[in-house]
Amino acid sequence: MKDSEFIPPGYTVLKGKGKVGWKAPSNIALIKYWGKKEDQIPANPSVSLTLSSSATSTTVFYEPVDKEAQKLTYDFIFEDKPNEDFRPKIDLFLKRIEPYLPFLKHFKYRIESSNSFPHSSGIASSASAFAALALCFMEIERKMYPEMDPAYFLQKASYLARLGSGSACRSILGPVMHWGNHSEITGSRDEYAIGWPFELHPVFSSFHDLILLVDQGQKKVSSTVGHGLMKGHSFASKRFEQAHKNLSDLRQVLKEGDLNSFVEIVESEALTLHAMMMTSRPYYLLMKPNTLAIIERIWHFRKETGLAVCFTLDAGANVHLLFPEDARSRVMDFAEEELFEFCEEGKFLEDRVGEGAKPLW
Ligand code: DP6
């Protein structure tokens, strides 16, 4: 399937060489994307908080090739070293985005990328990585098509990022992003993410995410495989319905700053995501004993203090502890006393809600 709205009008492919650079943040989903159709189309809509510190910075150097190459060539440098591990995913991404970027094969590229967080931390880097890369390619396209509308630039960047990794399409703007068709959200699309189009209570713009690194190793089952296991899953259709309903409920919660309902929806989404993994065929578990130990302590702390702290999980063992700014000092004391001991090598990342991707210069 090709979306003609993102195939640009004919423009002249410029011949010069140059470089472009973007920094894109990671994001953490409140309503989870889990299950997809052909062409990275999500099986249900999702909502995420854009993060601030956890980000990928990417510079793309481009240089014209003599004649339009049959096969696109590029070097990929990750944290100052050539890296082969990411090539299969980048190759697939380039193949998928090629119909939308007529200039692509007229150049060769050197892609230099680095993360603000340790790659081995087990936190998802594909979202920030593909968002940054998609923005770089859009920046090159903008040089050839300067009259491009800024809104189109961002939409198409999100569209292209999706073709690299679904959740990457939400790493463009902030503080809250929505992705996927939803009957109550005008302008919502399966093909790209949009900034949250409703009123947002100010409490959420300064929310914190303390990422507790329980397991920094490679995941046993990748997200891509996990999504695939939703095909034919016994609970799939109910789960997709539930995501629509949770998203409708979240709308009011985000408007009113109703933190108790926020906690309930977000934790339920996280546990449902993992319940889907546990009930797939083949079934599997990504939570570790320390994930559960942390969850139990969070529940106990919330009961004792009445503070609206909650957890969410992505497709791994690490725990994201979400809380409002005014709870920060008490939550950090609690984490120090009771949670860091469950983290691998005591490691954690302090992050907060952010504004979205930025050009590097
Ligand atoms: C659990 O976006 O990593 O984090 O599209 O196959 O690259 P691919 O998967 P990915 O899946 C993310 C799943 C999740 C939930 C979410 O971010 O919404």
Q: Is residue 2 scored above 80 in pLDDT? A: no
Per-residue tokens: 193 = 């993410």
Give the Å distance between the CA of 166 and the centre of ligand 1: 6
Cβ within 8 Å of residue 88, ≥6 positions away: none
Per-residue tokens: 36 = 């997809």
Cβ within 8 Å of residue 161, ≥6 positions away: 130, 131, 133, 134, 135, 168, 169, 171, 172
Pocket flag, ligand 1, residue 33 (CB < 6 Å): yes
Question: In the prediction, which pLDDT does 156 show?
Answer: 98
Sign of the CA dihedral running 13, 19, 23, 26:
positive
- pLDDT (average), residues 277-292: 97
Categorize the per-residue pLDDT at 1 as very low, low, confident or very high, splitting at 50, 70 and 90: low
Decide which of 219 and 344 is more confident.
Answer: 344
As beta bridge partners, residue 55 has 25
* Percentage of the chain exceeding pLDDT 70: 98
Question: In the prediction, which pLDDT does 130 show?
Answer: 98
Pocket flag, ligand 1, residue 315 (CB < 6 Å): yes
Categorize the per-residue pLDDT at 252 as very low, low, confident or very high, splitting at 50, 70 and 90: very high
Task: Give the Cα separation of 279 and 271 in Å (integer).
Answer: 12
Pocket flag, ligand 1, residue 46 (CB < 6 Å): yes
Q: Are 212 and 339 in contact (CB under 8 A)?
A: yes
Give the Å distance between the CA of 65 and the centre of ligand 1: 35
Atom of ligand 1 nearest to the CA of 165: 7
Question: In the prediction, which pLDDT does 10 show?
Answer: 80
Residue among 314, 318, 319, 320 whose CB has most ligand 1 atoms within 8 A, to mutate:
314
Among 64-73, 89-98, 140-149, 279-288, where is mean pLDDT lowest? 64-73
Atom of ligand 1 nearest to the CA of 127: 2
Give the Å distance between the CA of 226 and the centre of ligand 1: 9
Residue among 28, 30, 32, 33 whose CB has most ligand 1 atoms within 8 A, to mutate:
33
* Percentage of the chain exceeding pLDDT 90: 89
Q: Residues 71-104: pLDDT tens digits?
A: 889 999 999 999 998 999 999 999 999 999 999 9
Q: Which of 341, 299, 294, 358 is nearest to 320 (CA)?
A: 294
Pocket flag, ligand 1, residue 27 (CB < 6 Å): no
Among 20-29, 86-95, 114-123, 189-198, where is mean pLDDT lowest? 114-123
Question: In the prediction, which pLDDT does 81 show?
Answer: 94
Question: In the prediction, which pLDDT does 121 show?
Answer: 63
Pocket flag, ligand 1, residue 167 (CB < 6 Å): yes
- Residue count of the chain, please give it: 361
Among 143-147, 210-214, 264-268, 340-344, where is mean pLDDT lowest? 143-147
Question: In the prediction, which pLDDT does 13 show?
Answer: 84
- pLDDT (average), residues 190-212: 97
Instruction: Output the CA–CA distances (angstroms, integers) from residue 18 to 65, 91, 137, in the order listed.
Output: 13, 22, 12
Give the Å distance between the CA of 342 and the centre of ligand 1: 25
Decide which of 272 and 118 is more confident.
Answer: 272
Pocket flag, ligand 1, residue 314 (CB < 6 Å): yes
For atom 7 of ligand 1, which residue has the closest CA?
A: 165
Give the Å distance between the CA of 313 and the centre of ligand 1: 11
Among 60-74, 160-174, 191-205, 252-266, where is mean pLDDT lowest? 60-74
The three state secondary structure string of the chain is CCCHHHCCCCCCCCCCCEEEEEEEEEEEEEECCCCEEHHHEECCCEEEEEEEEEEEEEEEEEEECCCCCCCCCEEEEECCEECCCCHHHHHHHHHHHHHHCCCHHHEEEEEEEEECCCHHHCCCCHHHHHHHHHHHHHHHHHHHCCCCCHHHHHHHHHHHHHHHCHHHHHCCECCEEEECCCCCCCCCCCCCEEECCCCCCHHHHHCEEEEECCCCCCCCCCHHHHHHCCCCCCCHHHHHHHHHHHHHHHHHHHHHCCHHHHHHHHHHHHHHHHHHHHCCCCCCCCCCHHHHHHHHHHHHHHHHHCCCCEEEECCCCCEEEEECHHHHHHHHHHHHHHHHHHCHHHCEEEEEECCECEECC
Give the Å distance between the CA of 185 and the centre of ligand 1: 21
Q: Residues 166-188: pLDDT tens digits?
A: 999 999 999 999 999 999 999 99
Q: Residues 225-250: pLDDT tens digits?
A: 999 999 999 999 999 999 999 999 99
Q: Residues 4-63: pLDDT tens digits?
A: 889 987 888 888 999 999 999 999 999 999 999 999 999 999 999 999 999 999 999 999
As beta bridge partners, residue 8 has none
Atom of ligand 1 nearest to the CA of 27: 17
Task: Give the Cα separation of 105 and 358 in Å (integer).
Answer: 26
CA contacts within 13 A on the Cβ side of 356: 16
Pocket flag, ligand 1, residue 224 (CB < 6 Å): yes
Pocket flag, ligand 1, residue 32 (CB < 6 Å): yes
Categorize the per-residue pLDDT at 122 as very low, low, confident or very high, splitting at 50, 70 and 90: low
Q: Is residue 117 scored above 90 in pLDDT? A: no
Q: Which of 341, 361, 62, 329 is nearest to 350 (CA)?
A: 329
Pocket flag, ligand 1, residue 165 (CB < 6 Å): yes
Question: In the prediction, which pLDDT does 168 show?
Answer: 98
Categorize the per-residue pLDDT at 68 as very low, low, confident or very high, splitting at 50, 70 and 90: low
Q: Is residue 124 scored above 70 in pLDDT? A: no
Q: Which of 205, 163, 214 is nearest to 52 (CA)?
A: 205
